[in-house]
Structure 1
Amino acid sequence: MFAERLKILREEKDLKQFELAKLLDLAPSTISMYEQGKRYADQNTLLKLADFFGVTTDFLLGKSNIKNINETDECMNEVLEVFKDYKGLSEDNKQIIIQLIKKLNNDK
C-alpha cells in the first residue's frame, strides 16, 4: 500500500521521481524502489514524506484512509452533530434509525 500511495501523492503534485528525491535529499533510485515495493522507508524518511505531502504516516502506510488530521477533525464534527440529532429523537425513531443503518450496511 505504501508504494501505491507514494506514487499517487507524487503524481498529484506533478513531480518526477528525481524531483521528489532532490527535494527530500534522497537518491532517485530510493524513490523508485519505494514505488516498486522493493524497499521501505525508515521512520525518519517516512516522517519526511508525510510532512512533505501533508498526510499522516498511517495514510502513507495504508493503515488509514484519512489523509490528514483536518479530515479526522471534520469527520469527528460530523459524527458529533449526528449524535446530537440522534439524542433528541424518540425511542421509536432511534430504533428506526438503527434498523436503517443496519440495512444500509448489509446492502454494501
Structure 2
Amino acid sequence: MFGKRLAEVRTNKGLSQYELAERLGFSRAQIANYEQGTREPDFHTLIVFADFFEVSLDYLLGRTEIHEFNANGYQTYTRKELTEREEGFLEEALQVFRKYSSS
C-alpha cells in the first residue's frame, strides 16, 4: 500500500520520480523501488515523505483514507466503532499511561 500511496501523492504534487528524489536527497531508483514495493522505507524515511507531502503516516501506510489536516494542523477523523482488538489495545495503553503518569 505504501508504494501506491507514495506514487499517488507524488503525482498529485506534479513531481516525477527524479524530481522527488532530487528534492529529498534520494536516488530515482530508491523512489521507484519504494513505489514498486521492492524496498520498504525505514521509519525516518517515512517521516520525511509524510512531512514533505503534508500527510499522515497512517495515510501513507494505507491505514486511513483521510490525508488532509484541518486548519489547526490536526488530522480530522469521523467517529467509527472500534473493533474488539482496537478496544483491547486502547485499554492496555490507558493502563500503561495511568501506571507511569501516577509515578
* 1:54-96 Cα distance to aligned partner (Å, 9 max, x none): 10001000011111342743x55xx6xxxxxxxxxxxxxxxxx
- Which protein is bigger by CA-based radius of gyration? 1
Partner of 1:16: 16
Measure, in 2, the Cα distance between the counterparts of 1:14 and 1:69. 20
Q: Say whether residues 1:47 and 2:47 are aligned partners.
A: yes
C-alpha RMSD of matched pairs (Å):
1.7
Residue 37 (structure 2) pairs with residue 37 (structure 1): yes
Q: CA deviation at 1:46?
A: 0.4
Aligned residues: 76
TM-score normalized with structure 2 length: 0.67
1:42 CA drift (Å):
0.7
CA positional deviation for 1:37: 0.6
* Stretches of structure 1 lacking an aligned partner (at least 5 in a row): 80-108
In 2: Cα distance, 1:57 partner to 1:72 partner: 11
Q: Which digits, 9 at most, give the CA deviation of each residue in 1:23-42, with x for residues without a partner?
A: 11111100000010101111
Q: CA deviation at 1:6?
A: 0.4
**TM-score when normalising by structure 1:** 0.64
Alpha-carbon distance in structure 2 between the residues aligned to 1:13 and 1:23: 13
Q: 1:65 aligns to what? A: 65
